[in-house]
Amino acid sequence: MTRQAPLIAELVNLATTRSRGGGSVKPLSGEDLATAFAAQFGDRTSAALRAVPDAGERLAELATELRHALLAERPADQAARINAMIRKYGAQPYLVEDVGQPFHLHFHGSFGTQVEALGGEFATALALIVDGYGPDRFGICEAHQCEAVYIDLTRNASRRYCSTACTARAKTAAYRSRRQS
Ligand SMILES: [Zn+2]
């Protein structure tokens, strides 16, 4: 399920983040959100996502739920929010064989559109991350002018930045401030 982690962070960031990578950004909604998020997927899923009526509104709602789950302050609150999403989207485990791949487990939502299917996948992914890594693996980028969320799947919980670009920016800033002092 760790393959879902970057997609979860990207959806939350596209829909809710106001500064990213050193500059301010406008949270996306409606058609813009649907188009930008659909671009994360291959042709088939992308087309299915864009074909959903009100895809942007549904994605924005899912992004808000994910953000609240990621950034919940207490583990009990976080667990309750994730459990509520699993129920809401009717996440169901089943084995799927994609072309050229061995059977692997999906947790698509069992009712609704492609957005609800992803809701089931994402809610289950968060549950498995909490189960496997603990409740503290979700954070906000520490680089200057960036509020993007990230999911930390490193072995030693060492992640502090949303992207390699922000890691590089933060390193450069630290180097400059050392040289000036
Ligand atoms: Zn960042």
pLDDT (tens digit, 9 = 90+) per residue, 149-178? 999 999 999 999 999 999 999 999 888 888
Interval between CA 110 and ligand 1 midpoint (Å): 34
Interval between CA 167 and ligand 1 midpoint (Å): 7
Total count of domains within the chain: 1
Q: Where are the alpha helices (H) located in 2-160, listed in sequence order?
A: 5-16, 30-38, 43-50, 55-70, 75-89, 114-133
Interval between CA 10 and ligand 1 midpoint (Å): 12
Q: Domain with 85 in it: what CATH number?
A: 1.10.3300.10
Interval between CA 150 and ligand 1 midpoint (Å): 8
Interval between CA 78 and ligand 1 midpoint (Å): 23
Interval between CA 165 and ligand 1 midpoint (Å): 7
At residue 21 the predicted structure's pLDDT band, cuts being 50, 70 and 90, is very high
Q: Distance between alpha carbon 65 and the CA centroid of its chain, in Å?
A: 11
- Amino acid present at 40: Q
pLDDT (tens digit, 9 = 90+) per residue, 45-61? 999 999 999 999 999 99
Asked if 10 and 4 touch (Cβ cutoff 8 Å), the reply is no
Interval between CA 151 and ligand 1 midpoint (Å): 12
At residue 112 the predicted structure's pLDDT band, cuts being 50, 70 and 90, is confident
The residue range of the domain holding 8 is 2-180
Interval between CA 52 and ligand 1 midpoint (Å): 30
DSSP 149: E
